[in-house]
């Protein structure tokens, strides 16, 4: 429409279009290069334990019996079909393990058929494949740290992983498939920013998280509360760092928990049907699962319905706090400094979370330290996410008293499903921030309250 020979300007939309920022090609190439090197390095770490973490023989002997049962299941599947005993795992003593769906036997059974390898060739291949999967997940998480907090944060995290005892012990283990435990956690960190930016629908994000929780539950129910709640850590961090409302944050976290619980119940239903087919009736199948679950959680004495002759229940008069106290004496990391390796215990890491919060939320003055001040919201978000990850970790000991009491040789892995990974990342972030702040002071000089200069 013209007026006095002048074209009227079209009305301006209140919604600003999303402008795609040009990609930094050198940075992308560098991240791809670091990612490839990291996957190769960590795969070898989980195969050979080059830092020699843990007591002599611990790495080599970690759950060898359970691994042997997995390989026996694969051998039997080649002779009797992939779903012998309805997919349940056959242990080396001939006992059929009915306490989960048996994905740890089904997956290698599928892979050996796809690869066409002999059993002798498949064993080392599958150890390396399992190590590779965990290495890939940890590397992707490190790249997230680089994106959020800088190169030093991700690099330091990757250098600390080979010193983390229980990640290294579990890294190549084929009976637990530890990468299934942490994939929901990693997937949330990778994908949730896409949900916030509108590049992914919430239902698609939840479907992926649910599928990953389902796969983990089919391979075992250990630490399942940590796994489900672990997928809420990233929504908490991103929500706080982007200053979203607590109502929005809590709704997103609640949706993740609901989907995770549903996926767990779906896996438990599959397990129930397997047990019903194996024992010949639905009631007997349910009884087998219920008695074992009761003993491994807070229930009474295990009546050993499955004929194991064991008892997974904990003494009724033993408080959970006493069991947790025992885990606090476990090494969380071993520094590769010769035969007398200094050990950093889990107690230190639990204390570290409070130091993180106090240091970054209360003690660090952004006017004095501009780098910290500029990243105030992400740091507050990470500090809260770190504490929440510790809360997630303690849910399993509270639920599974019997399991934690009888399985101290493996149950320290519970601390690595969410919390220890976050704690190692926290060390990396601190190193990154200190280096960036020091560089800022070198370039710009010390000037109180100067938040305008570039801190990148």
Query: Residue 33's pLDDT is what?
Result: 92
Whole-angstrom Cα distance, residue 45 to residue 248?
40
- Cα-Cα-Cα-Cα dihedral sign, residues 334, 335, 340, 345: negative
Residue identified by tokens 């539950």 is 217
Q: What is the residue-level pLDDT of the chain in tens, covering all 456 positions?
A: 444 444 444 444 443 444 444 556 668 888 899 999 999 999 999 999 998 888 888 888 888 888 898 999 999 989 888 888 888 888 888 788 888 899 999 999 999 999 999 999 999 999 999 999 999 999 999 999 999 998 999 999 999 999 998 899 999 999 999 999 999 999 999 999 999 999 999 999 999 999 999 999 999 999 999 999 999 999 999 999 999 999 999 999 999 999 999 999 999 999 999 999 999 999 999 988 888 888 777 755 555 454 444 456 676 767 777 777 777 777 777 776 666 667 777 777 777 776 777 666 656 777 778 878 788 889 889 999 999 999 999 899 888 888 888 777 787 888 899 999 999 999 899 888 888 888 888 888 766 544 444 444
Q: Pick from 330, 368, 364: which is nearest to 349 by CA?
A: 330
Q: Which two tokens stand for residue 171?
A: 């890294």
Residue-level pLDDT at 311: 58
The dihedrals phi and psi of 2, each to the nearest 5 degrees, come to: -100, 150
> What pTM does this model have?
0.87
With a CB cutoff of 8 Å and minimum separation 6, the contacts of 44 are 50, 131
CB within 8 A of 235, min separation 6: which ones?
188, 192, 249, 252, 253, 256
What are the φ/ψ torsions at residue 150 (nearest 5 degrees)?
Answer: 105, 165
Give the per-residue pLDDT at 448.
54
């Amino acid at each position: 429409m013209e007026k006095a020979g002048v074209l009227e300007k079209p009305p301006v939309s209140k919604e600003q279009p999303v402008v795609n920022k040009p990609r930094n090609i050198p940075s992308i190439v560098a991240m791809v290069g670091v990612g490839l090197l990291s996957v190769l390095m960590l795969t070898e770490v989980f195969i050979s334990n080059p830092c020699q973490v843990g007591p002599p023989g611990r790495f080599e002997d970690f759950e060898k019996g359970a691994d042997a049962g997995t390989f026996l299941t694969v051998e039997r599947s080649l002779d009797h079909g992939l779903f012998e005993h309805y997919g349940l795992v056959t242990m080396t003593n001939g006992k059929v393990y009915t306490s989960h769906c048996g994905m740890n036997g089904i997956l290698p059974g599928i892979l050996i058929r796809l690869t066409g390898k002999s059993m002798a060739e498949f064993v080392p291949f599958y150890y390396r494949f399992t190590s590779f999967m965990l290495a890939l997940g940890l590397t992707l998480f490190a790249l997230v740290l680089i994106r959020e907090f800088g190169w030093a944060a991700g690099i330091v995290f990757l250098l600390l992983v080979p010193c983390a005892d229980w990640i290294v012990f579990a890294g190549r283990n084929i009976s637990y498939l530890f990468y299934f435990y942490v994939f929901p956690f990693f997937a949330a960190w990778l994908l949730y920013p896409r949900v916030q930016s509108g590049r992914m629908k919430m239902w698609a994000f939840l479907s992926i998280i649910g599928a990953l929780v389902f796969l983990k539950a089919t391979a075992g129910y250990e630490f399942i509360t940590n796994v489900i709640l672990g997928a809420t850590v990233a929504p908490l961090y991103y929500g706080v760092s982007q200053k979203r409302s607590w109502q929005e944050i809590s709704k997103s976290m609640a949706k993740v928990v609901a989907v995770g619980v549903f996926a767990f119940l779906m896996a438990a239903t599959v397990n129930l049907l397997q047990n019903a087919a194996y024992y010949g009736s639905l009631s007997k199948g349910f009884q087998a699962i219920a008695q074992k679950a009761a003993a491994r959680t807070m229930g009474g004495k295990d009546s050993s319905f499955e004929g194991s002759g064991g008892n997974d229940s904990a003494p009724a008069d033993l408080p959970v706090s006493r069991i947790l106290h025992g885990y606090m004496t476990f090494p969380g990391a071993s520094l590769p400094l010769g035969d007398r390796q200094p050990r950093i215990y889990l107690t230190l890491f639990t204390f570290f979370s409070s130091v993180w919060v106090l240091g970054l939320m209360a003690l660090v003055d952004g006017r004095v330290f501009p780098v910290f001040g500029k990243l105030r919201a992400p740091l507050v978000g990470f500090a809260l996410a770190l504490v929440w990850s510790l809360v997630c970790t303690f849910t399993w000991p509270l639920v599974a008293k019997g399991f934690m009491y009888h399985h101290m040789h493996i149950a320290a892995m519970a601390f690595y499903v969410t919390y220890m990974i976050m704690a190692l990342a926290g060390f990396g972030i601190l190193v990154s921030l200190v280096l960036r702040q020091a560089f800022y002071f070198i370039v710009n000089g010390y000037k109180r309250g100067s938040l305008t200069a570039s801190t990148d």
